[in-house]
């Protein structure tokens, strides 16, 4: 099932509904309009703490448990640590697919 999650993550990027990278994600979360945050396993403890605090304050779901290399490969990069989904429908589908993998 993780493959379906990753495939849909790729679709989300192609649809232009994915924000990639620490700075861009932080900016977007502060501004509003983020419906899901995805943190890689290798994100620093400070990064995880900061984004989890944002998620808690703004009631945004947060997914962890995927390597930065896997996220990067799916999105056409070498690695990525922080992602934000800016579409409610796509974030709900990603959450649904993620829950079936656990």
Q: What is the pTM of this model?
A: 0.94
- For residue range 11-48, list pLDDT tens digits in order: 999 999 999 999 999 999 999 999 999 999 999 999 99
Distance CA 81, CA 48 (A): 10
Note the CATH number of domain 2-101: 3.30.1330.30
Q: Would you kindly state where each structural domain of the chain is located, as residue ranges?
A: 2-101
- 31, 6 Cβ separation under 8 angstroms: no
- 77, 25 Cβ separation under 8 angstroms: no
Q: Which helix (H) or strand (E) holds 11?
A: helix 2-14
């Amino acid at each position: 099932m993780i493959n379906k999650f990753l495939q849909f993550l790729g679709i989300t990027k192609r649809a232009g509904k994915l924000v990639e990278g620490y700075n861009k994600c932080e900016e977007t979360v502060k501004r509003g309009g983020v419906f899901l945050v995805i943190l890689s396993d290798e994100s620093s403890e400070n990064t995880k703490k900061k984004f989890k605090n944002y998620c808690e304050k703004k009631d945004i779901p947060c997914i962890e448990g995927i390597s930065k290399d896997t996220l990067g490969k799916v999105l056409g990069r070498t690695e990525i640590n922080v992602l934000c989904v800016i579409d409610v429908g796509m974030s709900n589908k990603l959450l649904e697919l993620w829950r079936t993998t656990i």
